[in-house]
Amino acid sequence: MLLLIGLGNPEQKYAKNRHNIGFMAIDAIAEAYSFGSFKSKHHGLVAEGQINGEKTLLLKPTTYMNKSGISVADAVNFYKLTSQQIVVFYDELDLPSGKLRMRTGGGLAGHNGLRSINAHMGADFRRARLGIGHPGDKAKVSGHVLGDFSKQDQQWLEPLLTALTRHLDYLVKGEDATYQTRVIEDMKAAVPELEADETQTNKDAE
């Protein structure tokens, strides 16, 4: 079994926020693989389905971002999952817009959702870091993260969500590096201008 988790905030007013790209990824996966409807469970919304023959659960915590760990830990403990069976999709300020980087464990990078998960079950889980870019000024971070994706962002957002779903079979097999490579290749082909625009990057934690 695989548990794919998207981080975000549950109210409709947050739906299009950059901070909710994790929810968007999970919704895209649910649609692409014809998952069942989302149901209230484990302090979140859960959908069941299969990816490449593997039973897979999708989880969107409804506890708000800074309490995501309550929902995640409840699901993980209920299904008795290991850290390798968990993948968390979330927004990453320190990656340029439209980038994906996979990693297991590591720091929390000031992300409240990760901090909450760490507090409830530790940090040794698989992560799909989805770049939303940095506004360039710490004072603007909150407005950037809780702001809606712009029209310009749509040029890379939809191709990214499509690429994330297209290569999930590698994620299911635990081949995170290959998954990352395939998504990057898709993005290079779909949005080549992203390769020339690295100005938003403060650092790449890889």
Structure tokens at 16: 């299009």
pLDDT of residue 206: 27
DSSP letters, 24-92, are HHHHHHHHHTTPPPPEEETTEEEEEEEETTEEEEEEEE-S-GGGHHHHHHHHHHHHT--GGGEEEEEEE
Residues of the chain with pLDDT under 50: 198-206
Note if 111 is an active site residue: no
Assess contact for 113 and 133: CB atoms under 8 A: no
Helix (H) or strand (E) holding 12: none
| Structure-derived torsion over alpha carbons of residues 32, 33, 36, 40, reported in degrees to the nearest 10 | -70
In this prediction the pTM is: 0.93
Structure tokens at 18: 């950059």
Fold assignment, 2-196: Rossmann fold (3.40.50)
Which of 60, 56, 111, 113 has its CA nearest to residue 85?
56
pLDDT of residue 195: 67
Q: What angle do CA 107, 108, 112 make, to 5 degrees?
A: 170
Among residues 19, 43, 111, 134, the one annotated as catalytic is 19
Helix, coil or strand: residue 97: coil
- Angstrom distances, CA of residue 32 to CA of 60, 113, 205: 17, 25, 30
pLDDT of residue 199: 39
End-to-end Cα separation, the chain, in angstroms: 27
pLDDT of residue 196: 52
Per-domain boundaries in the chain:
2-196
CA distance 51 to 28: 13
CA 56, distance to chain mean position in Å, is 16
